[in-house]
Structure 1
Amino acid sequence: MRVVVALGGNALARRGEPMTAEFLRTNVRSTCQALAALARTAELVITHGNGPQVGLLALQNLAYQDVAAYPLDILGAETQGMIGYVVQQELANAVEGEREVAGIITTTVVSEDDPAFDRPTKLIGPQYSGHDAAEAAAAYRWTIARDGAAFRRVVPSPRPLAIVQAPLIRRLLEGGTLCVCVGGGGVPVRLDSLGRHVGVQAVVDKDQASAALAVEIGADVLIMLTDGDYVSESWGTPEQRDIVTASADAIAKLAFAEGSMQPKVDAAIRVARAGGRVLIGPLDRLDDLLARKVGTEIVPSLDEGILFLERRPSD
């Protein structure tokens, strides 16, 4: 079975934790231990986000003013190497050397005409208070958006069209190698007039890039690990209903939070319409997610359209 596992931010950093190397390694180690059983039996690809880390690197770049700050595409590549190194090492440790693990710096083709460049939505970097966010926006000409009770920088997040290294990843999987790739959605690139790849100043959504990869390599399953138990209709309201199973067409008719769950649902629809299955659920209950005791499954078709979790009156 060929599986793509997309690690959410909670797999790399917990909210409120300092973004230190020690915390990164501790979180990645526990994540890879949870994935070890699957990694021993499946053709496994692990993808991961980089939003907090790429924003932190951008801030560190701005602090050193003797040279021009590195552009966002290079910072994206840097975070792929930084996080990918830790994931690669800890996954190899978790499977006790039974499988080879390769980390791949991945690039993702996007369109320079994508409307996302006129409407930044991708949250990156640390959280700010309202006052600090206003100061950062003025100082660095950033676009700022609300993230819960705080604020964060937002950058364009164009739709991924193709993963350049997909054929290489497929060959590695066929040879028995586990792959760590599409970090932070991959470095976004466009084709110039000579057909060459050129870096783009944006951050691709990790889940949508993972979906693009899953389709290109013919993955059977895409698993998106989050800190929530289900995808929910009307989340956070008295009308909330948790989705157990849904067809791609049925869930496409629902609306979700644009900065959090909607990209995951869009990614799931892309994979399901290509014939794959998608599981969305909690990292700390991976076994239950695989056994369908928790989480949401999105499939190519379903007679009922959507099956919601039945709750007892006392719930």
Structure 2
Amino acid sequence: MRTLVHIAADALPDHDGEGLDMLAASLADLIRDGHELAVTYAGPAEAAAPAGSRLVRALSDALPGRHVTALVTHTEVRAHDPALRPPADPADSGPRTALHPYAVLEASAVRDLLADGTVPVCAGGGGVPVIREPGTGRLRAVAGAADPARTAALLAAYLDADALLFLTSATHLFAPRSHGRPRPLLRVTPEELSAVRLPEGVSALADIAADYVTRTGGIAGVGPADNALGIVRETTGTLIHPAPVARPA
């Protein structure tokens, strides 16, 4: 099974230690289970290189004899992306809207690395955002950051990944209730997920995962960073799967 794992910012340790070792062990479990694995991760773009280095070192320790490599990737965005417009108020220094990714330029290299048995760690922080200049087609880096989760889904689709996993600090997606604790979602279709009013902080991630399943026919999961294999095996996390095809009566 070809699997792309995206590590959300809240699940990515910012230094070496037990948390990083636990994350690496979680990813290594997928490989030992027969998964062909590519890894992307979120976080500030300026911290992408150190985070990628930490992941590569931890994964190499967890997978002796397996090649693990960090790859700097460039994510093409459109010059007319609204997130590239200057703020209406020059004094507005708040967070900018993420750029919408259209292509990961090193996607074919990632595919080649997978075919060679290498574990690529790439698209850190959504990749370096670039646009193509009109007329010349030359690449130019732009300010801002591409949406890391959308970039992961875009790359997974190019790689024909069977599964797209989003590792977070939470065990599941949770549906709120009017009374009592939120209800954990276990196994849902994109249609069932769209009917659930999720908290604002995770609704965008759920939409990206559901859209991936609808477009590709693969599966997507959202679950704990310390048990990636458990998401696939449905012992933890939320698994999103295609709706069954209706058979004619």
SS in 1 for 2:120: strand
8 Å Cα contact 1:119/1:156 also seen in 2:
no
Q: Does 1:142 align with 2:93?
A: yes
Structure 1 residue 33, shift from structure 2 partner = 1.8
Q: 1:187 aligns with which of 107, 111, 128?
A: 128
Q: Does 1:301 align with 2:238?
A: no
Matching residue's letter, 1:47: T
User: Which residue of 2 is the match for residue 214 of structure 1?
Assistant: 156
SS in 2 for 1:195: coil
Q: 2:142 aligns with which of 195, 200, 204?
A: 200
Q: Give me the whole-angstrom Cα distance separating, in 2, the residues matched to 1:85 and 1:156.
A: 27
8 Å Cα contact 1:208/1:263 also seen in 2:
no
CA deviation string 1:37-83 (max 9, x = no partner): 22343211111112xxx3xxxxxxxxxxxxxxxxxxxxx2x532211
User: Which residue of 2 is the match for residue 48 of structure 1?
Assistant: 41
CA, structure 1 residues 192+266, in 2 after alignment: closer, same or farther (shift >3 Å)? Answer: farther
Q: Does 1:155 align with 2:99?
A: no
8 Å Cα contact 2:68/2:121 also seen in 1:
yes
CA deviation string 1:160-202 (max 9, x = no partner): 1111111110111011111100111111212211212221211
Q: Give me the whole-angstrom Cα distance separating, in 2, the residues matched to 1:257 and 1:209.
A: 22
Matching residue's letter, 2:171: D
Q: Does 1:115 align with 2:82?
A: yes
Q: 2:23 aligns with which of 31, 36, 39?
A: 31
SS in 1 for 2:72: coil
Matching residue's letter, 2:7: L
Name the stretch that deviates more: 229-238 or 201-210. 229-238
User: Which residue of 1 is the match for residue 55 of structure 2?
Assistant: 87
CA deviation string 1:226-280 (max 9, x = no partner): 111221223797473322222223323444344x312311221232021110011
Q: Does 1:266 align with 2:207?
A: yes
CA, structure 1 residues 199+38, in 2 after alignment: closer, same or farther (shift >3 Å)? Answer: same
CA, structure 1 residues 29+268, in 2 after alignment: closer, same or farther (shift >3 Å)? Answer: same
Q: Give me the whole-angstrom Cα distance separating, in 1, the residues matched to 2:151 and 2:119.
A: 18
Q: Give me the whole-angstrom Cα distance separating, in 2, the residues matched to 1:196 and 1:257.
A: 41
Q: Give me the whole-angstrom Cα distance separating, in 1, the residues matched to 2:47 and 2:213.
A: 29
Q: Give me the whole-angstrom Cα distance separating, in 1, the residues matched to 2:219 and 2:16.
A: 30
Structure 2: which 5+ runs fail to align? none
Structure 1 residue 203, shift from structure 2 partner = 1.6
Structure 1 residue 32, shift from structure 2 partner = 0.5
Structure 1: which 5+ runs fail to align? 14-18, 55-75, 121-137, 144-153, 305-315
CA deviation string 1:107-140 (max 9, x = no partner): 11122323344699xxxxxxxxxxxxxxxxx9x8
User: Which residue of 2 is the match for residue 124 of structure 1?
Assistant: none
Q: 1:275 aligns with which of 217, 234, 237?
A: 217
CA, structure 1 residues 170+279, in 2 after alignment: closer, same or farther (shift >3 Å)? Answer: same
CA, structure 1 residues 250+209, in 2 after alignment: closer, same or farther (shift >3 Å)? Answer: same
TM-score by length of 1: 0.69
Q: Give me the whole-angstrom Cα distance separating, in 1, the residues matched to 2:143 and 2:51.
A: 20
Q: Give me the whole-angstrom Cα distance separating, in 2, the residues matched to 1:191 and 1:159.
A: 14
SS in 1 for 2:40: strand
Please tell me the root mean square deviation across aligned C-alpha atoms, in Å. 2.7
Q: Does 1:174 align with 2:115?
A: yes
User: Which residue of 2 is the match for residue 3 of structure 1?
Assistant: 3
Q: Equivalent pairs: percent with the same residue?
A: 28
Matching residue's letter, 1:3: T
Matching residue's letter, 1:104: L
